[in-house]
Amino acid sequence: MDSESAARRPIYVGTRTFLGRRDLVVSLYTRKCQFQCSYCALPSRSASGDVSEADLSAQIDGVFDEYAPRLDGFQQFSFGNEGSALDRQRFHRASLHHLLERAADMTALEVLSVETRPEYARLEELQDVRARTRAPVVDVTIGFETQDDHLRQVVLRKNITRRLLEDRVRVLGDLGMRLTSYVMVKPAPGMTDEEGTREAIATMEYLASLCGQHGVDLVVYLTPMYVAQGSHLERTTSPGEWVPPTIQSIFDVAVAGWRMGLPVYCGLWSEELADEAHDFRGRDGYDPALRKALVRFNVTGDASHLTPFLPAGAGR
C-alpha cells in the first residue's frame, strides 16, 4: 500500500465485547508517536510525516460508512491512534470534532473511550469531548503500566510521572469521567513470574487507591509483556533475558483484580507484533482452556468463568 492510500485508512478497525458491552474499536493512522517507549513497536505502523485533516476525516467517514447498518448495536466506542487522540499536533481538532459528530449516530452508546497519554488529558480538552457526546460515560484510557517508578521511567521509558497521572485523575474526578489504565504483567527483563505478578497487583492497588481518593471509576486492562519485533528492548536484550509471563500469572492477576472489586480485561494477543514463541503462548504449561476462560471473562466480566480454575478451597 502506498503512503497516499495508507493515509486514508485506519491502522485498525474491529469489534469486540468488552465487559458486557459491544465495542467498536478504531485506531486511526496519524503521524507516529514522538515518545519512544522501549517495549513498543506500534509507531512503525504510523506515518513518518503529518496526515492531513482531510485524510484523517476520510478515515473516520470510511469507518462510520462501513458500519452504518450496525451503529445502533454498539454500546461502546473506543478510539485512538499511536500516541494520543487528544494531541492536536497529530490528531486535528476539526477531525476529532468530526469523529464525535459521526459517533452521535451510535444511538445506544453508553461509553465513549478515548486513548491518550496523560499530558494531553487536560481539563479544557476533556470538557470539549464531554460537550460533544451524549454517551453517559466518558472513559480516558492511559498506558500507565506499572507503579514502580524505575520500571516505568527507566526500563519502559514511558516518561509518565506519578505526579502527572495523579493530577489527571483529579481532573477526571472533577469531570465525572472514568479511567482505564493499562497494567503490564511482568514489565521488566529478568523478572520471575512471581515478581511480575506481585508488581501488577501492586499497580492495581495503587490505581484503585488513587481513583478512590477522587471518586473515579477504574477499569484495569492487563497487558502481558511480549517481545515486540523491532522494539528497543528486542534490540538490546539477549534471547531468554525477557521471558513473557505464563497464562497462570495473567490469571492470578485477573483474579486479584476481581477480588479487589475492579473490572478487569485481559489483553490476550500481541497485536501481530510477536509470534507465539515470544508471548505467553510459548511458555511451558500453557493451557488453552484457561485462555478460553479468560476470554469469556473479558466478554462478560463474570468471574464464574474463572472460579473452576481456582485452587480447591479458594473463594472470593
pLDDT at 8: 73
Asked, for residue 166, whether it belongs to a domain, the answer is yes
Domain end point (choices 102, 135, 168): 135
Q: Are residues 153 and 282 in the same domain?
A: yes
Q: Are residues 77 and 115 in the same domain?
A: yes
pLDDT > 90: percent of the chain = 72
Cβ neighbours for 278, distance < 8 A, ≥ 6 positions apart: 226, 227, 229, 244, 270
Task: Work out the burial of residue 65: count CB atoms within 10 Å of its CB; fewer than 13 is exposed, 13-18 middle, 19 or more buried.
Answer: exposed
Asked, for residue 102, whether it belongs to a domain, the answer is yes
What count of other Cβ atoms lies within 10 Å of the Cβ of residue 119?
Answer: 14
Nearest CA to 81 out of 139, 159, 163, 9 is that of: 9
- Per-residue pLDDT tens over the stretch 83-99: 899 999 899 999 999 99
Q: Are residues 184 and 215 in the same domain?
A: yes
Domain end point (choices 135, 166, 183): 135
- The pTM score is 0.91
pLDDT at 47: 74
Q: Are residues 119 and 150 in the same domain?
A: no
The CA distance from 155 to 176, in Å, is: 33
The CA distance from 226 to 276, in Å, is: 9
* Phi, psi for 13 (deg, rounded to 5): -140, 130
Residue with the larger pLDDT of the pair 44 and 185:
185
- Per-residue pLDDT tens over the stretch 248-294: 999 999 999 999 999 999 998 755 555 566 678 878 888 999 999 99
Alpha helices (H) along the chain? 3-6, 53-66, 93-103, 123-131, 149-150, 162-175, 193-214, 232-236, 247-259, 288-300
Q: Are residues 68 and 175 in the same domain?
A: no
pLDDT at 49: 83
Per the CB < 8 A criterion, the answer to whether 48 and 3 are in contact is no
Q: Are residues 125 and 202 in the same domain?
A: no
Per the CB < 8 A criterion, the answer to whether 257 and 265 are in contact is no
pLDDT at 168: 98
For residue 207, what is the domain's CATH number? 3.80.30
Asked, for residue 222, whether it belongs to a domain, the answer is yes
Residue 35 pLDDT greater than 80, yes or no: no
Mean pLDDT of 149-164: 94
Q: Are residues 289 and 159 in the same domain?
A: yes
Q: Are residues 158 and 285 in the same domain?
A: yes
Residue 315 pLDDT greater than 60, yes or no: no
Residue 203 pLDDT greater than 90, yes or no: yes
pLDDT > 70: percent of the chain = 84
Residue 218 pLDDT greater than 70, yes or no: yes
Mean pLDDT of 94-112: 98
Q: Are residues 171 and 218 in the same domain?
A: yes
pLDDT at 125: 97
Residue 32 pLDDT greater than 80, yes or no: no
**Which cell goes with 205?**
492497588
**Which cell goes with 234?**
528486542
- Give residue 300's pLDDT band: very low, low, confident or very high (50, 70, 90): very high
Asked, for residue 308, whether it belongs to a domain, the answer is no
Per the CB < 8 A criterion, the answer to whether 235 and 273 are in contact is no
* Domain with 157 in it: 142-299
Q: Are residues 3 and 81 in the same domain?
A: yes
Asked, for residue 314, whether it belongs to a domain, the answer is no
Domain end point (choices 87, 103, 135): 135
What count of other Cβ atoms lies within 10 Å of the Cβ of residue 295?
Answer: 14
Residue 179 pLDDT greater than 70, yes or no: yes
Q: Are residues 63 and 149 in the same domain?
A: no
How many domains are there within the chain? Answer: 2
Asked, for residue 199, whether it belongs to a domain, the answer is yes
Measured torsion, CA atoms of residues 78, 291, 157, 83, in degrees rounded to the nearest 10 = -20
Least confident of 166-170, 174-178, 190-194: 190-194
